[in-house]
Amino acid sequence: MNSKVIIFDTTLRDGEQALQASLSVNQKLQIALSLEKCGIDIIEVGFPISSPGDFKSVQTISRKIKNSRICSLARCIEKDIDTAGEAMSSSDSFRIHIFLATSTLHMKSKLKKNFDEIMDMSIFSVKRALRYTNDVEFSCEDASRTNIDNLCRIVEKLIKSGVKTINIPDTVGYTVPNEISSIISNLFERVPNIHKSIISVHCHDDLGMAVGNSISAIQAGARQVEGTINGIGERAGNTALEEIIMAIKIRGDILGVSTNIKHKEIYRTSQIISQICNMPIPSNKAIVGSNAFSHSSGIHQDGVLKNRKNYEIIEPSSIGLKEVKLNLTSRSGRAAVKYYMDKMGYKKTDYNIDELYVAFLKLADKKGQVFDYDLEALAFINRQQEESEYFSLKFFSVQSISNGLSTASVKLLCGANIHTESSTTSNGPVDAIYQALNRITHFPIILQKFQLVAKGKGKDALGQVNILVEYENRKFHGIGLATDIIESSAQAMVNVLNNIWKAKEVNKQLKNLKNFNKS
């Protein structure tokens, strides 16, 4: 049996259906190009009969994609099939994907037809699609709830009519791994011409088993898996393709199959799709979540620092990530603290690890997460200085006009002195405040990330602003929390300014210490 698993991506069709707003043609093209670069075998780019916009997207993508095969969806309706063929006509090779429900539930309650009528519609539609391409895929919608005798009958007829790929969808995420394995095994045992077609699976995640079901189907003989990047899609979503791909790569010893995927493109592709689709990736998402390669437990951090394989089965670099992330929290041990101090270039003789660790735990309990510049401040700044912040926002005023200019005035306490400054900008009130603060501090800050999160509901809800800035090739985090999002934005920047000031104080003290030692 062929050991290559074909990866069929339906992010632009099934995935896009679940988005709050439709994607533009250019956005869809950008996603398609990223999927092609990742090595996806089949890209289902749309349902062209559904709208003129989708037709145009399919047409545009068909002209641009050269290394992946383009596919479009069609119902068992002549106009659907003709439109799909027309939309992809500029592509050198393409696939038409036809679907029709085969379960008793769908036939009776949705289609009002019997199984013989379903068979006739299916065969007629396949013949129609073969006028445009010799690559036709047929999906037996709701296959996992279809009578197995009926499923075997229609699969045999479809293959005989020229279908190259038969898809067995778990349309509503109803089945469990041993069931879908049994369905695939039955097809291989009972359909005499099964070897003339590729068996595919398209699993949904309503019970959280889409990936598990797809892996079980592979083990039973399926050689195409359909899904989406990041698992986006109808209801609870689709099979997350990045999880399938990495499961095949890491557990090749028991699965015995492979893919054509360029693994180092996985993380980049995931990020592109998340941003374009406005679908944030959960931090605990397997493979591509922000915590997928993060370690907070002191025991785990120590183990990873000694040998990453102790607690990581996947090398971050294998999916395009450059570094492992050790979170500094109250659960962290001395090993993580020492790791960050070493990373910043400090020798163990530069500080007392025991004293630093005690101070670190106190700050971690108070702050939640600690960063490398916090460690510097704890290690080298006088404890009294540590308790007080150098910068403090005393007053701010903002005037803003829609589609016009925004003006901000601020009063900032800098040590013992109060400074006042104002700024006018066309980029909104937050930018106006940030520019005014920058005029006071003169720190050449580059804002890299701005995130607003609602805490609570109703009029008393708090707006938490998290920002990430770059200053002198170093990253600094800031957090602000207030009912007024402008105020929380200002607090976040002041938080950053204090972190930068502490880092600068550390540098001054270390320089003074070096000069003293020289003398």
Q: In this predicted model, what pLDDT tens digit does every residue of 171-217 receive, in sequence order?
A: 999 999 999 999 999 999 999 999 999 999 999 999 999 999 999 99
Given a cut of 50, is residue 2 above it in pLDDT? yes
DSSP code string of 443-504: ---EEEEEEEEEESSGGGPEEEEEEEEEETTEEEEEEEEESSHHHHHHHHHHHHHHHHHHHH
pLDDT tens for 206-225 read 999 999 999 999 999 999 99
CB-based contact 185:216 (threshold 8 Å): no
pLDDT score at 518: 60
Mean pLDDT lowest for which of 110-119, 210-219, 464-473, 510-519? 510-519
Residue intervals of the chain classified under CATH 3.30.160.270 are 387-510
Rounded to whole angstroms, the Cα distance separating 431 from 434 reads 5
- Direct distance between the N- and C-terminal alpha carbons of the chain, in angstroms, rounded to an integer: 77
pLDDT score at 383: 45
pLDDT score at 310: 84
Residue labelled with tokens 């129609």: 128
Residue 264: half-sphere exposure toward Cβ, Cα within 13 Å? 2
CB-based contact 100:128 (threshold 8 Å): no
Residues 102-106 have a mean pLDDT of 95
Rounded to whole angstroms, the Cα distance separating 58 from 43 reads 11
pLDDT tens for 362-415 read 888 887 888 887 887 787 665 444 456 899 999 999 998 877 899 999 999 999
Rounded to whole angstroms, the Cα distance separating 102 from 87 reads 27
- Residues annotated within the binding site are 14, 202, 204, 238
Residue in 204, 146, 147, 200 with CA at minimum distance from that of residue 170: 204
Q: Hey, what amino acid is at 70?
A: I
Classify domain 6-277 at the CATH topology level.
Answer: TIM Barrel (3.20.20)
pLDDT tens for 340-367 read 888 887 788 878 888 888 888 888 888 7
pLDDT tens for 434-446 read 999 999 999 999 9
Given a cut of 70, is residue 288 above it in pLDDT? yes
Rg of the chain over CA atoms, in angstroms? 29
CB-based contact 5:218 (threshold 8 Å): yes
Query: What top-level class would CATH report for the domain 387-510?
Result: alpha beta
Confidence grade of residue 515 (pLDDT, cut at 50, 70, 90) = low
What value does the mean pLDDT of the chain take?
Answer: 90
Residue intervals of the chain classified under CATH 3.20.20.70 are 6-277
Residues 12-33 have a mean pLDDT of 90
pLDDT score at 506: 82
What percentage of the chain has pLDDT greater than the value 70? 95
The number of beta carbons lying within 10 Å of the beta carbon of residue 345 is 7
pLDDT tens for 218-246 read 999 999 999 999 999 989 999 999 999 99
- Residues annotated within the binding site for Mn(2+) are 14, 202, 204, 238
**Does residue 494 or residue 510 have the better pLDDT?**
494
